[in-house]
């Protein structure tokens, strides 16, 4: 099924193409999916997780197309993913990402693909990809996680409004307490709802009466995902 948004062309179901990159020296696999191309190429973050899959990358690229159409941006949707283990040291991580950047370099240099930060991908990681591609990261990404959190918060408000649930009666759990999760939690608390639980890749905390957001945030900053 395809949809029509305003007067733009129909959003395609299938991506334009997906590249699979195998890097034997690191036992590494990566994918770059270009779902659509706009006037300014295609944009999407690079997800760095040991269990990321081709199917996940393609679905995320499609979601980026919807996101940019909804916002009225003249850019297509894309996404990349690399199976980097969590225990890789900084030197290994940089080497892996530089090699990945070398493989997708032609698409970056031709401005077909504009990489961005994503889950577990920092500005330093993005810079390593650019180095591998033979390009300089001139402008550091802004706080895109904040805007992602706002869009998620808007969905929460819509659900609460539909079911006529006042903010004081809402208890929310957040899976993943990274940059998006922390910003989302702040918006929820300011709205008047409670954060009942948050999780990281190592575990979760839960309190039906509501968590102390500042305490949880400080623990996250102090101890990380562990």
Highest mean pLDDT out of 2-16, 89-103, 208-222: 89-103
Mean pLDDT value across residues 86-101: 96
Q: How far apart are CA 210 and CA 47, in angstroms?
A: 31
Residues of the chain above pLDDT 90, percent: 74
| Greater pLDDT, 8 or 128 | 128
**DSSP strand pairing (171-175 vs 194-200):** parallel
- pLDDT given at position 202: 79
DSSP conformation class of 141: -
| Greater pLDDT, 215 or 8 | 215
What pTM does this model have? 0.78
**pLDDT of residue 5 exceeding 50:** no
- pLDDT given at position 140: 60
- pLDDT given at position 115: 96
Q: How far apart are CA 15 and CA 79, in angstroms?
A: 11
**pLDDT of residue 37 exceeding 90:** yes
pLDDT digits (tens, 9 = 90+) for 125-170: 999 999 999 999 886 666 667 878 888 899 999 999 999 999 999 9
DSSP conformation class of 145: H
pLDDT digits (tens, 9 = 90+) for 190-213: 999 999 999 988 789 999 999 999
Model confidence band, residue 10 (pLDDT cutoffs 50, 70, 90): confident
| Greater pLDDT, 117 or 145 | 117
Q: Which fold has domain 144-223?
A: Rossmann fold (3.40.50)
**pLDDT of residue 4 exceeding 50:** no
**pLDDT of residue 97 exceeding 70:** yes
Average model confidence (pLDDT) across the chain: 90
pLDDT digits (tens, 9 = 90+) for 55-77: 999 999 999 999 888 888 899 99
* CA angle (58, 67, 181) in 5-degree steps: 85
Phi-psi region of 5 (alpha: psi -120 to 50; beta: other; left: phi over 0): beta
Q: What share of the chain is helix, strand, coil (3-state, %, to 5)?
A: 45, 25, 35
Tell me phi and psi for residue 129, to 5 degrees. -65, -45
Residues of the chain above pLDDT 70, percent: 92
- The CATH classification number of 17-133 equals 3.40.50.10860
- Identical fold between 17-133 and 144-223: yes
Where are the chain's structural domains? 17-133, 144-223
């Amino acid at each position: 099924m395809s949809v029509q948004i305003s007067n733009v062309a129909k959003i395609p179901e299938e991506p334009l193409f997906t590249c699979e990159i195998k890097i034997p020296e690191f036992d590494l696999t990566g994918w770059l999916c270009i779902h659509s191309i706009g006037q300014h190429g295609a944009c999407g973050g690079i997800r760095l997780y040991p269990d990321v899959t081709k199917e996940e990358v393609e679905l995320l690229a499609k979601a980026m197309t919807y996101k940019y159409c909804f916002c009225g941006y003249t850019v297509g949707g894309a996404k990349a993913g690399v199976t980097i283990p969590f225990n890789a040291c900084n030197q290994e991580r940089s080497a892996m990402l530089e090699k990945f950047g070398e493989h997708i370099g032609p698409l970056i240099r031709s401005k077909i693909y504009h990489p961005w930060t994503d889950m577990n991908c920092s500005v330093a990681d993005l810079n390593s990809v650019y180095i591998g591609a033979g390009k300089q990261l001139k402008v550091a990404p802004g706080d895109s996680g904040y805007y992602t959190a706002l869009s998620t918060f808007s969905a929460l408000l819509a659900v609460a409004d539909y079911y006529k649930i006042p903010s004081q009666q809402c208890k929310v759990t957040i899976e993943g307490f990274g940059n998006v999760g922390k910003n989302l939690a702040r918006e929820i608390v300011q709205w008047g709802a409670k954060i009942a639980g948050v999780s990281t890749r190592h575990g979760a905390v839960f309190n039906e009466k509501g968590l102390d957001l500042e305490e949880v945030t400080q623990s996250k900053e102090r101890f990380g995902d562990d």
